[in-house]
Structure 1
Amino acid sequence: MTSREILSKLPYSKPFLFVDELTVIFENGAEGTFTFDENLDFYKGHFKNNPITPGVILIETMAQIGLVCLGIYLGKDNNNTETKFAFTSSEIEFLKPVFPNEKVTVISEKVYYRFGKLKCKVSMRNSKNEEVCSGTISGMIL
């Protein structure tokens, strides 16, 4: 399955799609990028006169690239045209802010995939290759 095919199967659309490119995908991990456009609605109120990307959006970006894209790839042999996911848990440490117009790279490494549950170690890096957040994310493939 190609990166383009995986992206076409994502269950999201703008303005809630946080994947621009899937650069690496294989059975043990994924890597992709997203640029946070300054016109995204959440910047209007988070924070006044000094907008930063909310942590929940950073987690969602890591989940879409590092968990859902990988889950679609791992489930490629189940002949389903639509793979459904349920987010189950995350433990993320935030180290640096992500600002409007900043491009980030998410790197995911599979911890395990069994009985429909996928757990990954994820890391997000900015354009200076500085880690901005990292941790684990889990979900169920339904």
Structure 2
Amino acid sequence: MLDSREIQKIIPHRYPFLLVDRILEIEGNKAVGIKNVSANEPFFQGHFPGYPIMPGVLILEAMAQVGAVLVLRQEKFAGYIALFAGMDDVHFKKPVFPGDQLRLEAEMLKFKGLIGIAEGKAYVGEELAARGTLKFALRPGTESYEK
């Protein structure tokens, strides 16, 4: 299990764009993380006043961050960053509200060189909130994100 400090040693994201609070498990080509959705999230001010819903693109980003931890924790990719290269077959099934807890899953489907494809899923409880195929490219970043 990784907490937010350990996650920040692997990926460069920081508040308010770090969208993974904890990695619960990493096994083989799959990782599971958690995002606690708080009413204090800055995006709720404008999305939408009086009816706050977590933006779908941020749910996708949270899934991608779990996938980035899965890949970038490997020693050979230390200092790299993962950039979105595309998304396919994306579906939003359930709105995500303040107080919800997202369980985020990322499973690597293909990986060749510095290009990868992962299947991402986000659940609230047992209910699927979103899913999609996420494509990414690894690029050299900095040696360490820890500050």
TM-score bracket, normalised by the shorter chain, equals 0.7 to 0.9
TM-score normalised by length of structure 1: 0.88
Aligned-partner SS, 1:84 = strand
By how many angstroms is 1:124 displaced?
0.6
- Structure 1 runs, 4 residues or longer, greater than 3 Å off: 2-6
Secondary structure of the corresponding residue to residue 93 of structure 1? strand
2:115 counterpart residue number: 117
8 A contact 1:112–1:119 mirrored in 2:
yes
TM value normalised by structure 2 = 0.85
Give me the whole-angstrom Cα distance separating, in 1, the residues matched to 2:48 and 2:2. 35
- After superposition, what is the alpha-carbon deviation per residue over 1:32-64, rounded to whole angstroms, capped at 9, x for unaligned? 101111111110111121110011111111111
Q: How many residues align?
A: 136
Q: Shift in Å at residue 79 of structure 1?
A: 6.6
CA distance in 2, matches of 1:105, 1:15: 19
Unaligned segments of structure 1, at least 5 residues? none
Q: Tell me which residue corresponds to 1:134.
A: 131
Tell me the residue number matched to 1:95.
93
Q: Does 1:42 align with 2:39?
A: no
Q: For residues 57 and 23 of structure 1, do their structure 2 counterparts lie closer, same or farther at Cα, with a shift above 3 Å needed? A: same
1:71 corresponds to 2:68? no
Which consecutive residues of structure 2, in runs of 5 or more, have no partner in the other structure? 140-147
RMSD between aligned residues: 1.7
Structure that is richer in strand per residue:
2
Cα offsets for 1:87-110 (capped at 9, x unmatched) = 101121000000012101011211
